[in-house]
A and B are shown apart, each in its own frame.
Chain A
Amino acid sequence: MRIPGQDLRYAIRMLGRSPGFAVLAVLTLGLGIGANVAIFSIVDAVLFRPLAVRDPASLVRVYGADVEGVALMNSSYPVFTDYRDAATSFAGIAAYDEGEAFHLSSGSGGTAERVIGALVSGSFFELLGARPARGRLLSPADDRVPGAHPVAVISHRLWRKRFGAAPETVGETIRLNGHPFTVVGVAEPSFTGVSLDFLPDLWVPIAMVDQALPEFAAENILVGRNLSWLDIVARLTPGVTRERAQAELDTIAKRRAASQPSDHQDPMARVVPAADYAVGPAAREEARRISWLLFGMAGLVLLIACADAAGLLLLRSERRRREIGVRLALGASRRQLARQLFVESLLLAGLGAVAGLFFAVWAGDLLASAVPPEFTLPVGAASAILDIRALAFAAGAAFFSALLFGLAPAARAGRLDVLTSLKDVSGPRLPRRLTLRDALVVGQIALTAVLLVGAGLMGRTLAREARVDPGFEPAGKLEASIDLSKQGYDRERGGAFLPELLTRLRAIPGVRSAALGRTVPVQSSGMRTSIESDGYTPAAGEIPQADLNIVTPGYFETLGTRLVAGRDFDARDTPTSTQVAIISESMARRFWPGVKNPVGRRIMNLGPPGVGGEIIGVVKDVRFRSLRRAPDPTVYVPVSQFYSPRMMILLDSAAGVDPAALRKPLADAVGALDAELPLFHVRTLEDKLGLSLGQGRLLAWLVGAFAVLALVLAATGLYGVVSYATQARTREFGIRLALGAQAGSVRRLVLSRGVRFAAAGLAAGLAAAAALTRFAAPLLFGISPFDPASYLVAAAILGGAVLAASAVPAERAARVDPMTALRTE
């Protein structure tokens, strides 16, 4: 669309002459557009933005798949080499294993720490077109002979954080999982690989897998076809389609299957666009749901903002009737007039977009700082919050907004009767019928009601969650994790290490009690085991399961979970004594229904065949995986009988001792036993519980923020309408007052207009909320999407806002001086 310079110049002038109107409209639109840009930046980074690698469009991921091609899985190293050596559809192919934990210590000082790294084939960096910020990246020459290439590339982030961005880091020897590696380069800051699920701190060659993953050293992982641990990424040869690559891999897989025994068949292949799988399939689905929820809310706010702006413009066009009439009388065509008015709307929207960008930067920073690490949308990956795509989105949102709020006033101006307009020298007039502007306000109130109900539901969900009895006492507790497998501990060494560690932990001043457990609540991951109980006969095809936790004596006391029957583990439970177990109450109910006290009963698949493990105690239920999830039946076994190299330390501080103050003595106690064994996830249990609520809190916070924003915008819109109507009726009020009306009755006249709007808007809004909030049901806990309290509170808040917005014009009407009012006519 061509915008004549004159139209633009006049538009700037018009806005400059009405600064109050311009500022209000720009701020209103800025809030609406800004909220959308902020959300877009995050959602775009996760779902839409191309990967920060060379020519991302030609990259594909190769998954293993069942015959139907439905379930996607990782691949074994031999499967990767099959494709690498035989497929001609690919210009390059690489394998990687991401999200692996490494214990990192270095000669340049600093304690041992746990970092997330990736094992990659030598072709990985070249395939993705990555460049080094320092030194060099890995090449095929670094990935030839197993165990012979102890080299690593570190991320720019780790380089800055751990090594202070020192140039001499390249060439330095670091220790990874107890093995020396030479840092050969630093990756570019923007390099994230092809996955957003993990942002690796370092990369080592797959050839070093035995050193990098010592827990699998015995598995001969580079040879085994039944160990699927690798992701495969490939670049299509120019001119080759994904379908053709798929067909070629199908052929390779079928040929291979023909030569393999029937008890092991490698999976078929599934070739998918790499960009679609930057976030893992499950996380992607969740991210998509949350994204649309956030986008939906931001969209509602933009709609409300547009309705507000349209209302303001309509109000202004009422005041510009004479000007528009003159323009028509001077020969303006309806089209020229509409264009002039639309240019003004575009200008407003453009300024709104600029204001919105500032708002988006602020909101984006706020969001990034408020987002817990477990949040479904990996906001950390949305590093550049405002890029060219966000700017383009803002421009698009501005144009769309201008269309939404500018067309109606422009069209209406074009329909104006010239003669009436030219004669119109009085102030505003009150139309007899419901106007578009009135309808917009009703719509705003309705949309706001939807957001308020949403915020109420989220808030009530949080409140319900906070009231849940977790089955343990989080106050005063500190937890930390260790992973002996990375340090090369075998079962014998680890089995000796853990009791020694426990003794040292209990000796720390300020520690009331200490224990170790495979899992400490609340933790979404955990071990499961099938259960064969002597009190329950499963139905045909049923494989009963329960959560499994491996703990030391004192675990329940330290956690604050009550033992309701029997005894805790103690020194009697040795590797050679009878296998024992403690179960949760729900486990007792599930597997020994009708048995009052299952102590002494047996879990047949836990101990020696035919004998089983003996239940020696029953404890209260603990919500291990989530506060929202009903406690799973859980069986606890002693670490003395079930060794686990990965354990969590749990300390209960003595009265008056801040658990956070135990971090240092805890690190010292562990360091005294093994200086290279890093502690990770060191946090108080209260902080951890807060994090588990984090996503719900953030969502509630976001919905609440959107609702408040909407409320302010709707109240502004309503104030404008009521205020305008009051002004239009000034003479009427003057006459009424002159005839003896009480101020109160005039006030009621004005308020009743606001109340009518509120009633219509609320009725529509609450009905819409009832229809829409059921889609948010998976995000709710303990309440239904039709929770009456949320609807009542929303109605009360909105009613209050309506009264507040109407009160000022009502008061003004009640104070009208009859003589002045009549003279103005």
Chain B
Amino acid sequence: MIQLSNVEKSVASKAGQIFLLRRINLTIAPGEFVTIMGPSGAGKSTLLSILGMLDHDWAGEFRLLEHDVHRMKPRERIELNKKYVGFVFQQYHLLDNLTVAENLDIPLSYRNVKSSERAAIVADTLDRFQIVGKKDLFPNQLSGGQQQLVGVARALIAKPKLLLADEPTGNLHTDQGREIMRLFKSLNSEGMTIIQVTHSEENASYGDRIVRLRDGWIVND
């Protein structure tokens, strides 16, 4: 599904070019649940951003399904992101001024789905994640676990093939974190490809492959 060849990312500084990622070669098959681990500054989130096509400033080759991402313009990459990728953030990043239902509606509206269809999809998703009773609440009226549940639901609502999660349980209590991880496991068992970044060995145990980074290099796969 994903193939990275010699992907590198660097930023300029007074001291010269600083490499955040070095010669990353990585292949991920459909349906895999991959965990990226490593110490702070290892390049985990940077790699995730490149995979999510939120970062366009890198070198190397990147194939996603049949698409040569490295040949695409940023605008085309955004379209690819819309089509295939769902994102879950450590800080949940729900929009504070929108209700749960409206937060779920947002990705669909950006994909120009008709409003009548959107309402049906949002209703299905609320039902699937058992948060129908919370649909008119605002994020600050939810617990951290509930907010992350909405975050996952929002990431999945546009039916992505790839779910990217950056420290998805970093701000949650242990029990809430486990609940989210069980959800990921269940999604993966339904065929969803998942790539998560985490520091937690326990979270990593829910996946079937660990990629370790250090100073921008893959040190273990």
Contact = CB atoms under 8 A, between A and B. Distances in A.
Interface of A: 6, 10, 13-14, 17, 322-323, 325-333, 336, 418-419, 422, 425
A329 B87 contact: yes
Interface string B93-118: 11111100010011101110001000
B93 A13 contact: no
Nearest to B83: A331
A323 B110 contact: no
B49 interface: yes
30 contacts: A6-B105, A6-B109, A10-B98, A10-B102, A13-B97, A17-B96, A17-B97, A322-B91, A322-B93, A326-B93, A326-B94, A326-B95, A327-B106, A328-B54, A329-B54, A329-B87, A329-B93, A330-B106, A330-B154, A331-B78, A331-B81, A331-B82, A332-B110, A333-B110, A336-B110, A419-B49, A419-B54, A419-B55, A422-B89, A425-B91
A683 to B, nearest CB: 62
Contacts of B89: 326, 329, 422
A743 to B, nearest CB: 35
A327 B95 contact: yes
A330 B115 contact: no
Contacts of A323: 95-97
B158 A331 contact: yes
A418 B97 CA distance: 19
A333 B106 CA distance: 12
Contacts of A17: 96-97
Q: Which of A331, A419, A422 has the most CB of B within 10 A?
A: A331
Given A6-B115, A419-B54, A330 B107 contact: yes
A328 B52 CA distance: 12
A118 to B, nearest CB: 63
Contacts of B98: 10, 13
Interface in B178-201: none
Main secondary structure of the interface of A (DSSP, over half): helix
Contacts of A326: 89, 93-95
Contacts of B102: 10
A274 B131 CA distance: 71
Nearest to B85: A331
Interface of B: 49, 52, 54-55, 78, 81-82, 87, 89, 91, 93-98, 102, 105-107, 109-111, 115, 154, 158
Given A326-B94, A326-B95, 6 more contacts: A326-B93, A327-B95, A330-B107, A331-B158, A418-B54, A419-B54
Contacts of B94: 326
Q: Which 4 A-B pairs have the closest CB atoms?
A: A331-B82, A331-B110, A326-B93, A330-B107
A13 B103 CA distance: 13
A333 B49 CA distance: 17
Contacts of A332: 106, 110
Contacts of B52: 329
A150 B158 CA distance: 87
A319 to B, nearest CB: 11
Contacts of B55: 418-419
Q: Which of B54, B55, B93, B107 has the most CB of A within 10 A?
A: B93
A331 B81 CA distance: 7
A10 B97 contact: yes
B148 to A, nearest CB: 14
Contacts of B81: 331
Given A419-B54, A419-B55, A422-B89, A331 B111 contact: yes
Contacts of A329: 52, 54, 87, 89, 93
A425 B93 CA distance: 10
Contacts of B110: 327, 330-333, 336
Nearest to B46: A419
B49 A331 contact: no
B201 to A, nearest CB: 24
A18 to B, nearest CB: 9
B92 to A, nearest CB: 9
Contacts of A328: 54
Nearest to A6: B109
A713 to B, nearest CB: 27
A17 B102 CA distance: 15
A126 to B, nearest CB: 58
A330 B98 CA distance: 14
A244 B102 CA distance: 66
A693 to B, nearest CB: 55
B164 to A, nearest CB: 10
B119 to A, nearest CB: 12
Contacts of B154: 330
Contacts of A10: 97-98, 102
Contacts of B87: 329-330
A798 to B, nearest CB: 37
A179 to B, nearest CB: 77
Contacts of B106: 327, 330, 332
A332 B105 CA distance: 12
Contacts of A322: 91, 93
A320 to B, nearest CB: 10
B109 to A, nearest CB: 6
A168 to B, nearest CB: 66
Contacts of A418: 54-55
Nearest to A4: B109
A322 B139 CA distance: 15
Nearest to A322: B93
A422 B109 CA distance: 21
Nearest to B94: A326
Contact of B97 (A14, A419, A425): A14
Contacts of B78: 331, 333
A128 to B, nearest CB: 54
Contacts of A14: 97
Nearest to A328: B54
Contacts of B93: 322, 325-326, 329, 422
B111 to A, nearest CB: 6
A425 B81 CA distance: 24
B25 to A, nearest CB: 23
